[in-house]
Structure 1
């Protein structure tokens, strides 16, 4: 592999469960450089949990310190050529400034399929309060409490909400639509690719001006298998 990148070239700003794990693998194939994904905090950089939480706390302030946020993003993403999934996707406005030459990929899918996938994996429905939702997800996935809080805060920040009833399907579907609409409104068309789950290599490669990989199918990461792998990793490193 070539020398590690010092700048981000591609930013995946699709929400979780829209093919972000597959996009991570695809970008690593195309760019021959690592792509930052939320799994990095589980498998490699555990200390990033607190670093992202600090940025989220600052970003939600009325008079946030933009320079602190920009510097924090740059520090966390140093050594990567691309990034996708939460927490980064919620910072797409800031990332446009930090990386003015970067391109953005908004992964999308049918919103009802998205909600179904969300409920079956990372956000199972419960009739309890938000606090108990966090505890339930922690129990199911075996995730560190700090990680779970950071993940929920990342979604809340991405949706630009003060609080969210994560148990309400209607609320989540509305948040999904509003998030995608705001991305399209705020990211210049010349810098944005709207990538539908299942589109394959062609639109992505054309957008990035790279050749379509020969004899390599577009990655299709099994999210359920990935979730189990993450649980196994947590057990190995002693978090679970």
Structure 2
């Protein structure tokens, strides 16, 4: 993986420094109101709230999260697997709140790294509805097979698909969301509940709206409707628009590579005929 980062699919790593403390960790899994919650937190004054959408907008963030994944599961050069505050600040340093994946997948590590931050466990009470939404999004709209193939011909596409989907997402769900998504989701909720004292934890769902969220964060309740987030179709459409240029570039590169291989094969064939 290190060679891929450095030589084959290089992208400039994000350089961020913390100037304000991390205040809110929303560690519920994707498709649990994370986009609505992000919009609500921004409206409440948490002006830089990190969300998994950043992985699509800034593909180099996938490299940073992949590095955290490698340290967590395989250890650093000195054998340490604990992810430090400084490690997280390299990608989250300019954020004062965070929600959605991949942060939720590092919930335990984030809670340890930012012990003064308040923790929100955003949930979707209907497990079957959450599972269906996640399946149609992360196992459908966001990862079409044709895009996975083309991703090998563009660094930004490569890291979007393989940094998150085929590395972090697959590892978190023990190789298969379809097989393991429900029990992993339940286990995640139980783990967060067991980690955090009640005075630092808010268990919240979108239907709860502003009041419990504002009470927990000690903010005035806005006189506006609670913001709505992405539907599955909305997310698919936003990604299609975002990837249009990247896919065009990947197709061009694939054609160039294919033409080069054909040309090389033709030259090799001519040489072989001359030899024999």
Cα displacement (A) at 1:187? 2.0
- Residues 1-240 of structure 1 aligned to structure 2 (within 5 Å): 6-43=20-57, 45-61=58-74, 63-66=79-82, 69-109=84-124, 110-124=126-140, 136=145, 138=147, 144-152=157-165, 153-156=167-170, 158=172, 163-168=174-179, 171-214=180-223, 216-223=224-231, 224-236=233-245
- Summarize the Cα distance change of 1:93–1:167 in structure 2 as closer, same or farther, 3 Å threshold: closer
Query: Aligned residue pairs: how many?
Result: 222
- Summarize the Cα distance change of 1:148–1:237 in structure 2 as closer, same or farther, 3 Å threshold: closer
Cα displacement (A) at 1:99? 1.6
- Summarize the Cα distance change of 1:190–1:122 in structure 2 as closer, same or farther, 3 Å threshold: same
Describe the superposition over 1:62-101 as per-residue Cα deviations: whole angstroms up to 9, x where unpaired. Answer: 643425x432211211111111111111222222232221
User: Which protein has the bigger helix share?
Assistant: 2
In 2, Cα distance between equivalents of 1:217 and 1:85: 21
Aligned to 2:7: none
TM-score of the pair, normalised by structure 1: 0.81
Q: Which runs of 5+ in 1 are unaligned?
A: 126-132
Contact 2:59-2:159 at 8 Å conserved across structures: no
Cα displacement (A) at 1:5? 5.6
In 2, Cα distance between equivalents of 1:10 and 1:17: 19
- Summarize the Cα distance change of 1:46–1:146 in structure 2 as closer, same or farther, 3 Å threshold: closer
Cα displacement (A) at 1:41? 2.3
Cα displacement (A) at 1:234? 2.2
Task: Pick the structure with greater CA Rg.
Answer: 2
Cα displacement (A) at 1:237? 5.6
